[in-house]
Structure 1
């Protein structure tokens, strides 16, 4: 069952890719026959190209992810039935893989992983639906990369063998590189897209190398102390390492996750990647990629290195706080809507990073809800940014005028998602922020106050930059701006309404998610409670 969650997307991607190749061959053969018979039948080939080639792969990709969603729904039914009995729910698959290195295909699905996987599947489906409006070349390979990345993210959320985890961690970066380099924004040169993709790859690969060194070092230390060679997460967590060794091993993991979150000063790739990506690429970066780092912080850094994490808390909190205020202030000066959304997202990720190191159950539950809400609302804003760019033929916010009254529903959706990012009551963002701030205020009141000020800064920046969309001139002619007053399509309405419903539903009733993730969250908090930072600081 767990393997299906990973391999179904990969198999679906291959089927879609090869179906396009087969369709192209059939079209070429049929075209030769039609040309030899009658030239007037050539328009039939154009229709064949449009309806089969461009939509065949997307339909297969969509059906594939719907199958995965059905599997996830079955897991949720089983999970909720077990939770009602008061027990913890989990599923395990542990199979020998590379025997001579004792590397196993060890997957574990608990409530914590299930929440992240469900979010991944839903956002991948919405991404595929949106991508159907973007006419890309080599469409079979394009959807294969999307499904490949989804499979990698899902596998990462279940991997309990550290070698397997690192494999999935790297597996996620490769398809995203191609999505930026080959299918980035169409108004940019190929060289700029390549530079943006390369910048992303360099940042992530160098930081990943540090994590690999930490993994191998931990395995070697465990082998020397216990005479057992293993990559098993649970066994490595119990390795009796010295205090300073723990600190340096923790840094390898932290740097890898910090770059992908991203925290300053390693945020440059994030903005560039968004700028050079299509709207679909931005949805994947914001909805899938950053969540892997948040998951890694909670699943690996704190449980494996609790003493070092607690000792490192002042530095991590400072980095997160600086990221929050730095990105929020930069958002005030952004005229490009993608840059504005990228910096807004960076600020929110800094906000979550601070909360990760607070270390209590209420805060951690707030992080789960806020991560879901942030992903849904930011993805919604990137969709709106793409729709605005289609109508104004630019991403310059200063030229987004006169929309109110000309395109139905789009202004309302824009203000909803902007307010959702800011945590308006009734949305999942509000529920997450409320739990997060209340949890942090109990032990870190000053930090909680600073986080609140940071959220206010983000709110002001977004509202100030979004204001021209609704007010100003109601016609484009006096300022010579080309505007296409095109109504929202059924596809656009479906995407935005789906995101809106999810945000409101989770905001009104987040209890199933909280119940599902509670057992794992409680264990993470216990690691933090029993940590002894004095071991790292040299006091013991």
Structure 2
């Protein structure tokens, strides 16, 4: 079942693409081609719904499976390259199941929203979306570092095409690096450093045991000197920090959002960023616990600087997509600081916040797309009179603004509360600074967004006065999930506890050793 779970999306993507290409070649009538234009979307939607059913079945079996084996729910271990000890080793645990469920839900939203957009070459578009979905889910369950690197790189390919082929660039884009190119360059350079660290770690283990292996569960037990551990950890950290992204590596993130379509922005913020936060929890801390403790003050300072810097930049933004992008960077800086300074409570808050932030930001990007559709611009200064002009949209906008800020009753509030509570005992001064940074971020978002709700507007400039049923369904779905997790977080907390506690033990062991 685990193999079907990770491979089904990409299989569906190829089927949709082949059907689209086949119909274009055999059907000459333009009217018939337009009639079948929705076929790849329907195949993609059906594929994700079937994959969702598999996840629901796994959720039903998870509790009994975790009672028998607290480490994982499902496991697949197949020899791939025995000479180098590379195994196709997949492990589905509680944390993986949570982030995979979140991923599939966001992909479902992307597919439904993309049906509103005027896309060319729809077969290739949905292939990119589903290929990226499979690659990301593989990252969440893979334990072989060589294959982890392979799928880490594979995720970058569809993102590049989503930005470059279906994005919107200005007339000077050919004269400078655009968002897609910057993302690819940043990713390739940082990934090279991570590859060097992976190979070096495997070589050290081979020198000690005379056996090749890239299984991170084995490599966590490899004894290495403190200096070597620190250098190897930097290779992983470079890849994850750039993709989170922390300053000063955030510029690609802003440009990628500016140039992407709304569905592309939903993929970047909802899926791509999560892989980096997950990588810190899954790989960096277990593999390099001593180095993680050593670099903790630097990461805390960098994350706090990211939070304050982007919160201040948000004050001056007029493009709503840039504003949302800066808000997302600030929140991910907050999460990164907690990852390197937490307890079990803080780590579980991180898990909830990883889901909550992505869902809230995805909701905000849907709002930005609808606002641009109504006002024919992304300039916030022209989004006035929203409450009177577009029914329901102002209510949804207000909810997602408050959700991003962590209003009680939403998953964001639970995540923020647990992260601050868990980190305060260990690092009270850093926690106070983080709380102040969140307050500054709240003020910047409210100041920029509050004027859009009231005021008189020329009715000619508003092209849409009612939300469609599809728009209401998309926004209501995200709203319901955020409120459900906010009111009943026990399901997520119970599922992630054993893995989060296991991750924390690596840090506790090193602290005791010191």
Q: TM-score, normalised by structure 1?
A: 0.93
Q: Does 1:173 align with 2:156?
A: yes
Q: 2:34 aligns with which of 16, 26, 50?
A: 50
The yes-or-no answer on 1:273 pairing with 2:256 is yes
Whether 1:498 and 2:477 are equivalent positions in the alignment is: yes
The structure-2 alpha-carbon separation of the partners of 1:314 and 1:87, relative to structure 1 and needing over 3 Å to count, comes to closer
Residue 443 of structure 1 pairs with residue 422 of structure 2: no
Structure 2 residue aligned with 1:34: none
* Residue 526 (1) aligns with residue 508 (2): no
Kept in 2, the 8 Å contact 1:308–1:533? The answer is: no
Matched residue of 1:335: which SS? coil
Asked if structure 1 preserves the Cα contact closer than 8 Å seen for 2:388 and 2:454, the reply is: no
Q: Where does residue 484 of structure 1 map in the other structure?
A: 463
| The one of 491, 494, 511 aligned to 1:512 | 491
**Partner Cα distance (1:308, 1:397) in 2:** 44
Q: 1:334 to 1:210 in 2, by over 3 A?
A: same
Q: Secondary structure at the match of 2:88?
A: strand
Match in the other structure for 1:305:
288
Gaps (5+ residues) in structure 1?
32-44, 536-540
Q: CA deviation at 1:534?
A: 8.5
Q: Aligned pair in 2 of structure 1 residues 225, 82: CA closer, same or farther (>3 Å)?
A: closer
2:187 is the counterpart of 1:208: no
> Which residue is 1:347 aligned to?
330
Rounded Cα–Cα distance in structure 2 between residues aligned with 1:180 and 1:533: 47
- Which residue matches 1:198? 181
Write the mapping of 1:81-230 to structure 2, written as runs, cut at 5 A: 81-83=64-66, 87=70, 89-185=72-168, 191=174, 195-230=178-213
- Is there any run of 5+ residues in structure 2 with no aligned partner, and where? none
* 8 Å contact from structure 2 (residues 80, 86) kept in 1: yes
Cα offset, 1:50, TM superposition: 2.7
Deviation for aligned residue 1:359? 2.9
Change beyond 3 A, Cα 1:12–1:441 = same
Conservation of the 8 A alpha-carbon contact between 1:291 and 1:371: yes
Classify 1:103/1:89 alpha carbon distance in 2 versus 1 (closer, same or farther; 3 Å). Answer: closer
Residue matched to 2:401: 418
How big is each residue's C-alpha offset from its partner over 1:133-174, in whole Å with a ceiling of 9 and x where there is no partner? 111111111110000000000000011000110011001000
Contact 2:193 2:238 in 1 (8 A): yes
SS in 2 for 1:94: strand
For 2:238 and 2:447, the matched residues in 1 are separated by 34
Mapped partners of 1:315, 1:516: distance in 2? 31
Q: How far apart are 1:458 and its partner, in Å?
A: 1.0
Instruction: Return the offset for 1:51.
Output: 2.6
| Stretch moving more, 4-13 or 74-83 | 74-83
Q: Deviations over 1:470-518 (max 9, x none)?
A: 0222x226xxx72213311111111000000000000000101100010
Conserved? CA contact 1:184–1:193, under 8 Å: no
TM score, norm. by length of structure 2: 0.97
> 2:13 — aligned with what?
13
Cα distance, 1:81 vs structure 2: 3.6
Residue 405 (structure 1) aligns with: 388
Greater Rg, structure 1 or structure 2? 1
Partner of 2:24: 24
CA contact (8 A) 2:128 2:162 kept: yes
Aligned residue number for residue 284 of structure 1 = 267
> Contact conserved, 2:373 with 2:464, CA < 8 A, in 1?
no
**Does structure 1 conserve the Cα–Cα contact (< 8 Å) formed by 2:342 and 2:419?**
no
Superposition deviation, residue 192 in structure 1: 7.9
Report deviation, 1:186. Answer: 7.3
